């Protein structure tokens, strides 16, 4: 995580969540990492429409930087990076499989399903803790969400 003090991390997370919510956005991810010897706070934004714009990132970045400086949560310098999940965003919750119904996704499973551990398919919703994924024209797979190790949208041009 990059921070030795869990209390500081908790304060930073709470502050980031509040700033993001004030801008009518959702906090998709928050992490601290080291890059080139510098500490980087990476904030990933989301919104219900899935379309986070540059202005969203800029306004959250300005407000969060100001509030982090007031909090004085860092020992030394840091870089703040604010972005969106991107077009090839990861799918992490059951709701994502419904939200992005109709989109192409790449799934990797923790155990084989019909002989496959990794495959591409079109999302067709969720039923009873299973993601419905159409592989090819005829084949509809019912994938237990608990068995999905990783999933992300595929960029279609």
User: What pLDDT, on the 0 to 100 scale, is given for residue 3?
Assistant: 55
Q: Is the dihedral of CA 117, 123, 124, 127 positive or negative?
A: positive
Quote the CA–CA distance of 68 and 11 in Å, as a whole number. Answer: 9
**Percent of the chain with pLDDT strictly greater than 90:** 76
Residue 55 banded pLDDT, cuts 50, 70, 90? very high
Which pLDDT score, from 0 to 100, does residue 128 have? 93
pLDDT at 72: 81
- What percent of the chain has a predicted confidence (pLDDT) above 70? 97
The DSSP bridge partners found for residue 2 are: none
- Cβ atoms of 110 and 71 within 8 Å: the answer is no
Domains along the chain with CATH numbers: 6-83 (3.30.70.1350), 94-153 (2.30.30.100)
Task: Kindly indicate the confidence band of residue 2, based on its pLDDT and cuts at 50, 70 and 90.
Answer: very low
This model's pTM is above 0.85: no
Chain mean pLDDT for the chain: 91
Q: How far apart are CA 63 and CA 20, in angstroms?
A: 9
With beta carbons less than 8 A apart as the criterion, state whether 125 and 119 touch.
Answer: no
């Amino acid at each position: 995580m990059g921070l030795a003090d869990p209390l500081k991390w908790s304060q930073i997370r709470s502050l980031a969540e509040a700033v993001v919510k004030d801008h009518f956005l959702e906090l998709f991810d928050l992490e601290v990492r080291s890059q080139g010897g510098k500490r980087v706070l990476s904030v990933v934004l989301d919104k219900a429409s899935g379309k986070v714009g540059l202005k969203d990132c800029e306004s959250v970045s300005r407000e969060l930087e100001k509030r982090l400086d007031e909090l004085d949560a860092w020992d030394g310098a840091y870089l703040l990076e604010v972005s969106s999940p991107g077009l090839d965003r990861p799918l992490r919750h059951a709701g994502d499989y419904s939200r992005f119904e109709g989109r192409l996704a790449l799934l990797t499973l923790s155990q084989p399903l019909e002989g496959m551990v990794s495959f591409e398919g079109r999302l067709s919703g969720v039923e009873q803790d299973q993601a419905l994924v159409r592989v090819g024209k005829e084949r509809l797979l019912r994938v237990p969400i608990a068995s999905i190790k990783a999933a992300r949208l595929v960029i279609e041009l």
